[in-house]
Structure formats: C-alpha cells, structure tokens
Chains A and B, each alone.
Chain A
Amino acid sequence: MKILVAVKRVIDYNVKIRVKADHSDVDLTNVKMAMNPFCEIAVEEAVRLKEKGAATEVVAVTIGPKAAQEQLRTALALGADRALHIETDERAESLAVAKLLAKVVDEEQPSLVILGKQAIDTDNNQTGQMLAALTHLPQGTFASEVALDGDQVQVTREIDGGLQTVALTLPAIVTTDLRLNEPRYAKLPDIMKAKKKPLEVKTPADYGVEVASRVSLLKVESPAERKGGVRVASVDELVDKLKNEAKVL
C-alpha cells in the first residue's frame, strides 16, 4: 500500500519569534526554518510502516514557497521514496491546503494519509480533518498509536480525559500527536541519496485550486507582557505573599 505524508515548512520551534513593527505579521526574514515537528512524526510513522513491510511506498508532499523543497529533501532523507512540491508564494490557509491535498489523494490513491495534528506557526489543527471531509474518508486525529489490521487501521487517540481507540476503514486520514513516535535523525549518506530521489513540482493551477484566502489577517501583535515578578527567599515568605499580596490562597 501507498502512504502519503504531508509536511510543512515552519519557523524552527526553538526560535523566539518577532512581530513586525507594522503589525502586519510575524517577521520571517533570516529566521531559521525547519520541518514542523508534528510532520516529522508523520514521516517517521510512514517510514516505520514501510520498514515493517506494511507499506510499499511513501510519498511526501508540501505546499509552499520554493524553499519548502528543503523540507521535502529532509523527508526523502528520512526514508520517503519520492516527493511532490506544490509551489505557491501565497499564504495558503488550511482549507486551500486541504483542497490541494484532496486532489493529490485523488491522483495518488494512497491507502493512508498521515499529517501532523497542527503546524506550530498557525496552530490551526484543521488540515487533516478538512482533508478527511473533502475526500469523504474517516479520520483518526491526535494519534498516539497506529496499527494496520487488514482493510482497517486502529488509531489510539489522545483525548481530553485520556485515550480513545477507533477503527477506521481504509483509506483513512491520520493526524499525529507528539507521543506517536520519536523521529530519527537523517544520516549523511541518506541526505546525499535523497538528492537523487524524484521530486516533482506542480502549481495550484495544475489542480485548478484557488489559494486565495477568505480569512484576512488584520493585525499581529505581541501578547501582553507579564510583569517581572519577585524572588522570595523562603516557603514562609511565599505563603505569606500568596495569602496577603496576591490573595489567591
């Protein structure tokens, strides 16, 4: 079976972001970019399924600017077989990404699509669910365990009260939670080999999808700063401050 994995290029998770002075957006010039951490987990899971013999081919796809090909090369170095880049410089929101991915699903006919549960820049947590809706496929979101079983996949999901397991009929859409696996590092020979793996480039127009956004970003601000606190010297002082100054006890 074939697995499709969607990856996103985002600001590195360790970077302390800056809001632009004109409040139009976050400043991404000369900032370290990387693969979204939840997407790394998606790639790792797909590659593990291939190593177990459950999958025969892993296809990585991304939608974004030309530079996003770096993240596809990373996915190839981690074990994906080939890659597809849908190139656009527009700010593609979740619905547009889901529409494009739905076209790719239609073309590639994968048995399983794995995405991260959310991108750490927009924090939307929407694309996988929207893709499932548009393709009329079942969804297993926030997965911490994925087990293929014949024509079904059992997905253990992280829900508010604990864990829930659902069985989905394949083909299905799965989104990864952080605890699904621990992604491997790409080794140098694999990075070299990845440069020779096929990477196809298309545009949203090739799929007849409008990327234009229906949500306008009016303003981006820094959150209210917390006031610098005080150090207390002892437990007694802490309890006293909480009782008499903060009045929370």
Chain B
Amino acid sequence: MRILVLADLHEGQLAGATAHVVAAAQAIGGDIDILVAGEGVQAAAEAAATLDGVSNVRVADNAVYAHQLAEPLSALLVELADDYTHVLASASTTGKNVLPRLAALKEVSQLSDIIAVESADTFKRPIYAGNAIATVKSDDALKVITVRATAFDAVGGSASASVEAVDFTPDNAQSRFVDESLAQSDRPELGGARVVISGGRGMGNGDNFKLLDGIADKLGAAIGASRAAVDAGFVPNDMQVGQTGKIVAPELYMAVGISGAIQHLAGMKDSKVIVAINKDEEAPIFQVADYGLVGDLFEILPELESKL
C-alpha cells in the first residue's frame, strides 16, 4: 500500500493537523508520502520531512497553488493519485473542499472525517452529529479519506525523509483568489489546544467574552464559542465549536453559558474533561459535564480567574 497525505498549511507553514493525519496513515500501514502544495512552502516541506513514518515529501511550489484553491489542487492530486492506494487529508476546510473533488474526478467514493482505522479498507466515522458511529468499508481501488485530526495522536518529528519537487502546473481560469481576512490571535489554535474555554449565549454580549481572556491566559487555553454566540454577533465564526464549526478534543473543555445543544456537543464531547458553568441547572450540558457548577457566570468567572 502507498499512502499520500495532503499536508495542511496555515499561512504557508505546516499545520499541526498533518502529524495527526500521518498517524492515521500509519494505522493503515504502508509507505507514506506527504504532498506539500502552495506558494513559498519550502519551510513547510522541510518540517513535513521530519515527521516520523514519512518516506518522501513531494513539494508543489507554485503560485497556482497559493490559497489552496480546490480546482488546481484537485487537478494536482489527480495527477499524482495513480501512484497510491490511499489519499488522506485532515478534515480541515481545505481537506473538505478538495478531497471530494479528487474522489469524483477519479470516480470513487470519499470517506469523511474518519475517527478510527479498522483495516486498510474499513473505517469508523461519526454520523448524525456524532450521535452514532458508523463502520464503513470501501470497495474502491483508491480510498480518498479525510481524517478527524483530534482522533489520532500526532506522530513525532525526528525523521528525515527525502524532499522532491513535483513539476505540474494545471491551468485554472475558473476560480480566482480575491482576498482573505484571518482572525489574529496569540492564543493556541482552537483545534490543537490542550485547554479550550468556550462562551455561549449566556455571555450576554461580545465585550463579556473578555471575562474569558484572563482565564485563557492563565491556562494557555484557546477561546471557543457556541453557534448561538456566533449568530448573536458576539464573536467571529471561526471560533465556533460544533457540528458546523470546529471539532475539538482537548484535555479540558470549559463551557460557560452554553446550554449544550446537539450541534454544539458534536464538536466537543470527546474532550477528556468537561466543565460546565451555567445558571440553568436543567441545561443539557450538565449531562455530559464531568464537573458542573450552577451559578452566575459573571460572579464565577472573575473568582475562577483569581483562584487559578
């Protein structure tokens, strides 16, 4: 078996999720190559070459791959896919955007967001917002798969794989990058943070999210939000945790003023320890919380910050 992993990039650098996807590839077994595609990605390629278990890093460094547009990236993957039995990517917005396009171009199915590898053709994945786990077997010659990064432990970084350039430049007259606005933050990335503290509608307004800052600073935590908080305009959408936002599985997840709707739970119920702070003692979040504290978050948060 030969497995190609599409590297996840964040602002041109190798994103942490890639090491988790390589772990999933190792569970499948076989030779593992990483494809790093972008513009000015030599450093990312060198970082990818250190990941344990990787045989080759293939680098497509070309302006056409800047911003990871689906049309050129899937054309590149189609060009390379015949050498492989599996193509994997993390279930990031890039992986979700590109891999189904590759699968259809190769006339195969795609498996989304796998959380376990049973064998080289059988995998587990959540369905119905994580309320059921399906075991699925693919009969396709080429398996195209996105991986839930939080479900696999990252591989180490002490290897030195070879790095080779891929020379392929697809034409793309159909789509054009216009601009992007990325949220700026010094905090750890939400998907990979050890601790996440999230606020919901109970926070009342966007300014009150500042109450979470001090606690997040002390714990080295990322700050998340429920969909209700995002829809109410309290915080930007890239902070959303849930079925339609990010899936997180930190060691500690603190849900503040979040009721615990199915769609939110889908994004965080695999956290190791869950703490709920809510004034409504009937809130469904308490059914999944390891530690629940009923009370007014506006009193509890400052006290918590002072006692950490």
A and B: real partners?
Answer: yes
Q: Which residues of chain A have a CB within 8 Å of any CB of chain B?
A: 11, 13-14, 16-17, 19, 26, 93-95, 98, 118, 120-134, 137-142, 144, 154, 157-169, 172, 177-179, 213-223, 226-236, 238-239, 241-242, 246, 248-249
Q: Of B30-38, B79-87, B203-211, B283-291, which stretch is located at the interface?
A: B283-291
B139's closest neighbor in chain A, by CB?
A: A214
- State whether B252 touches A129 (Cβ < 8 A): no
**Count the A-B residue pairs with Cβ separation under 8 angstroms: how many?**
254
- State whether A221 touches B133 (Cβ < 8 A): yes
- State whether A26 touches B69 (Cβ < 8 A): no
Chain B contact residues, majority secondary structure = mixed
Annotate B153-195 by CB proximity to A: 1 below 8 A, 0 otherwise: 0000000000000000000011111111111000000010001
Query: In the complex the two chains form, what is the Cα distance from A220 to B128 in whole Å?
Result: 11
Q: Which residues of A contact B138 (CB under 8 A)?
A: 214-215
Among candidates B173, B182, B272, residue contacting A161 with C-beta atoms closer than 8 Å: B182
- State whether B101 touches A249 (Cβ < 8 A): no
Query: In the complex the two chains form, what is the Cα distance from A130 to B287 in whole Å?
Result: 38
- Given A17-B132, A158-B93, A217-B134, decide whether A235 and B304 contact each other with a Cβ distance below 8 A: yes
Q: Of B19-27, B48-56, B110-118, which stretch is located at the interface?
A: B110-118
Query: In the complex the two chains form, what is the Cα distance from A249 to B4 in whole Å?
Result: 38
- State whether B104 touches A95 (Cβ < 8 A): yes
- State whether B126 touches A223 (Cβ < 8 A): yes
Cross-chain pairs A/B with CB under 8 angstroms, 13 sampled:
A127-B100, A128-B100, A158-B238, A159-B180, A162-B181, A165-B180, A179-B230, A215-B136, A219-B135, A229-B289, A229-B291, A235-B303, A249-B252
Annotate B83-111 by CB proximity to A: 1 below 8 A, 0 otherwise: 00000000011101111111111011111
- Given A122-B127, A166-B69, decide whether A241 and B134 contact each other with a Cβ distance below 8 A: no
| Apart from the given pairs A167-B178, A214-B138, A242-B273, 9 other A-B contacts in the complex at a CB distance below 8 Å | A120-B129, A123-B126, A124-B100, A130-B104, A142-B96, A154-B178, A158-B237, A160-B93, A213-B109
Q: Which residues of A contact B126 (CB under 8 A)?
A: 123, 223
Q: Which residues of chain B have a CB within 8 Å of any CB of chain A?
A: 10-11, 67, 69-71, 74, 92-94, 96-105, 107-113, 122, 126-140, 173-183, 191, 195, 219, 227, 230-231, 236-238, 243-244, 246, 251-252, 262-263, 269, 272-275, 286-294, 300, 303-304, 307-308
A122's closest neighbor in chain B, by CB?
A: B127
- State whether A19 touches B132 (Cβ < 8 A): yes
- Given A139-B101, A165-B178, decide whether A144 and B237 contact each other with a Cβ distance below 8 A: yes
Q: Which residues of A contact B237 (CB under 8 A)?
A: 144, 158, 179
- State whether A242 touches B178 (Cβ < 8 A): no
Among candidates B175, B230, B263, B275, residue contacting A168 with C-beta atoms closer than 8 Å: B175
What is the CB-to-nearest-CB distance from A23 to chain B, in angstroms, rounded to a whole number? 9
Q: Which residues of A contact B230 (CB under 8 A)?
A: 179
Q: Which residues of A contact B101 (CB under 8 A)?
A: 129-130, 132-133, 139
- State whether A26 touches B127 (Cβ < 8 A): yes
What is the CB-to-nearest-CB distance from A137 to chain B, in angstroms, rounded to a whole number? 7
- State whether A235 touches B128 (Cβ < 8 A): no
Q: Which residues of B contact A220 (CB under 8 A)?
A: 127, 132-135
Among candidates A13, A128, A214, A248, residue contacting B263 with C-beta atoms closer than 8 Å: A13
B252's closest neighbor in chain A, by CB?
A: A248
Q: Which residues of B contact A121 (CB under 8 A)?
A: 127-128
- State whether B93 touches A139 (Cβ < 8 A): no
Query: In the complex the two chains form, what is the Cα distance from A131 to B70 in whole Å?
Result: 13
Among candidates A17, A129, A165, A167, residue contacting B100 with C-beta atoms closer than 8 Å: A129
- State whether A169 touches B128 (Cβ < 8 A): no
Q: Which residues of B contact A17 (CB under 8 A)?
A: 128, 131-132
Query: In the complex the two chains form, what is the Cα distance from A227 to B289 in whole Å?
Result: 9
What is the CB-to-nearest-CB distance from B107 to chain A, in angstroms, rounded to a whole number? 8
- State whether B132 touches A248 (Cβ < 8 A): no
